[in-house]
Structure 1
Amino acid sequence: MVTGITRAQRLMLATVCAVAVSTIYAIQPVLAVAGTELGLSPQSLGVLIAAGQIGYFAGLILLVPLGDLMNRRRLIGAMLALTAAGAAVTAAAPNGVVAVVGLAFAGVFAVVVQVTVAYVAAVSAPGERGRNIGAVTSGVVIGILGVRVVAGLLGDTFGWRAVFALLAVLCAGLAVVTRGGLTQDVRTSGDRYTRILRSMGRLVTTDRLFLSRGLITLFVFASFGSLWSCLALPLGAQPWSLGTTEIGLFGLVGLAGALGAGRAGRWADAGHAQLITGWSLLLLAASWLLIARTGPTLVLLVVGIVLLDFAVQAVHVSSQHLLTTAHPDRAGSVIGAYMAFYSLGSALGAVSTTWAYTSWGWWASCLFGALYAMAGFAVWWSAQRWLRDRRPKINQPTFRTRYATMIPRR
Structure 2
Amino acid sequence: MSAAVGLCVAANYYAQPLLDTIARDLGMTATSASLVVTVAQVGYALGLVLLLPLGDLLERRRLVCGLTLATSISLVLTAIAPNGALLLVGTALTGLLSVTAQILVPFAADLASPRQRGRVVGTVMTGLVLGMLLARTASGALATTGGWRTIYWVAALAMLVLTAVLHRALPQFRGTAASSYPELIRSTARLLVEEPVLRVRAVIGMLAFACFSVLWTSLAFLLSGPGFGWSEDEIGLVGLFGAAGAVAAQLAGRLADRGLTTHTTIVGAVALIASWGLLLLGAHHLVLLIAGIVLLDLAHQGVHIANQSLIYALRPEARGRITSAYMTCYFAGGAIGLALAGAVHARAGWGGVCVLGAVLATGLLLVWAVTRRPELRAVASAVLMAAGLLALIAAVVRLGI
C-alpha RMSD of matched pairs (Å):
2.0
> Is the counterpart of residue 180 in structure 1 residue 168 in structure 2?
yes
Contact 1:152 1:248 (8 Å CA) reproduced: no
Distance 1:388 1:295 in 2: 35
Q: Tell me which of 316, 321, 334 is aligned to 1:328.
A: 316
Deviation at 1:387, TM superposition (A): 11
Percent identity reads 36
Alignment match, 1:208: 196
Judging changes above 3 Å, is the alpha-carbon distance between structure 1 residues 272 and 317 closer, same or farther for their aligned structure 2 residues? same
- Whole-Å Cα distance in 2 between the matches of residues 48 and 357 of structure 1? 23
Which has more helix, going by share of residues? 2
Q: Using the alignment, how far apart are the partners of 1:292 and 1:311 within structure 2?
A: 17
Tell me the distance in 2 between the aligned counterparts of 1:164 and 1:231.
27
Equivalent in 60, 65, 71 of residue 77 of structure 1:
65
The residue type paired with residue 48 of structure 1 is: V
State the partner residue of 2:106. 118
Which position in structure 2 is the counterpart of 1:128?
116
1:19-34 equivalent positions in 2, closer than 5 A: 19-34=7-22
Secondary structure, counterpart of 2:218 in structure 1 = coil
- The 3 A distance-change label for structure 1 pair 372 and 35 is farther
C-alpha contact 1:149 1:245 (8 A) present in aligned 2? no
Tell whether the 8 Å contact from 2:71 to 2:156 is kept in structure 1 after alignment: yes
Asked if residue 192 in structure 1 is aligned to residue 162 in structure 2, the reply is no
Give CA-to-partner distance per residue, 1:40-63, whole Å, 9 cap, x none: 322333311111111111111111
- Paired residue for 2:302, among 297, 309, 314? 314
Distance 1:323 1:289 in 2: 31
* Aligned residue number for residue 405 of structure 1: none
List per-residue Cα deviations over 1:129-176 (Å, max 9, x = no partner). 110001101211112222232233333443322232222222221111
What is the DSSP-based 3-state SS (H/G/I as helix, E as strand, rest coil) of the residue aligned with 1:268? helix
Q: Which deviates the most, 315-324 or 249-258?
A: 249-258
- Of 351, 369, 380, 2:339 maps to 351
Structure 2 residue 46 is the aligned partner of structure 1 residue 88: no
**Residue 25 of structure 1: how far off its partner (Å):** 2.0
* Greater C-alpha Rg: 1
Query: 1:293, CA displacement in angstroms?
Result: 3.3
Q: What is the SS of the residue equivalent to 2:344?
A: helix
More displaced 10-residue stretch of structure 1: 182-191 or 130-139:
182-191
1:267 matched to 2:260? The reply is no
Deviations 1:157-204 (A, max 9, x none): 433222322222222211111110112212343233222211111122
Contact 1:123 1:185 in 2 (8 A): no
Aligned match for 2:5, one of 17, 30, 55: 17
2:24 equivalent among 17, 36, 42: 36
Find out whether 1:68 has 2:56 as its counterpart.
yes
Structure 1's consecutive aligned runs of 4 or more residues displaced over 6 angstroms after TM superposition are none
Q: Give the conservation status (yes or no) of the 8 Å contact 1:148–1:251.
A: no
Q: How does 1:222-241 map to 2 (within 5 A)?
A: 222-241=210-229
CA distance in 1, matches of 2:153, 2:359: 39
When normalised by structure 1's length, the TM-score is 0.87
Give the drift of 1:302: 1.2
Give a deviation string over 1:281-336, Cα, whole Å, max 9, x none: 11012111112334544111111111111111111111111111111111011101
- 1:264 CA displacement: 0.5
Compared CA separation, residues 386 and 151, structure 1 to 2 (3 A): farther
Distance 2:215 2:376 in 1: 34
> Match of 1:249, SS?
helix
Distance of 2:99 and 2:319 partners within structure 1: 14
Further displaced range: 286-295 or 246-255: 286-295
Q: Which amino acid aligns with 1:32?
A: D
Q: In structure 2, give the amino acid aligned to 1:315.
A: V
Alignment partner of 2:273 out of 276, 279, 285 = 285
Distance 2:220 2:149 in 1: 21
Instruction: Give the 3-state SS of the residue equivalent to 1:231 in structure 2.
Output: helix
Paired residues of 2:26 and 2:82 also in contact (CA < 8 A): yes
Is 2:196 aligned against 1:219? no
Do structure 1's residue 380 and structure 2's residue 363 form an aligned pair? no
**Runs of 5+ in structure 1 lacking a partner?**
1-12, 390-410
1:81 alignment partner AA: L
State the SS of the aligned residue for 1:20. helix
Unpaired runs of 5+ residues, structure 2, are 378-401
State how far apart, in whole Å, the 2-side matches of 1:35 and 1:350 are.
23
Report deviation, 1:244: 2.5
Q: Secondary structure at the match of 2:179?
A: coil
Partner of 2:384: none
**Contact 1:224–1:308 (CA under 8 A) maintained in structure 2:** yes
Matches of 1:209 and 1:27 in 2, distance apart?
Answer: 36
**DSSP 3-state at the match of 2:82:** coil
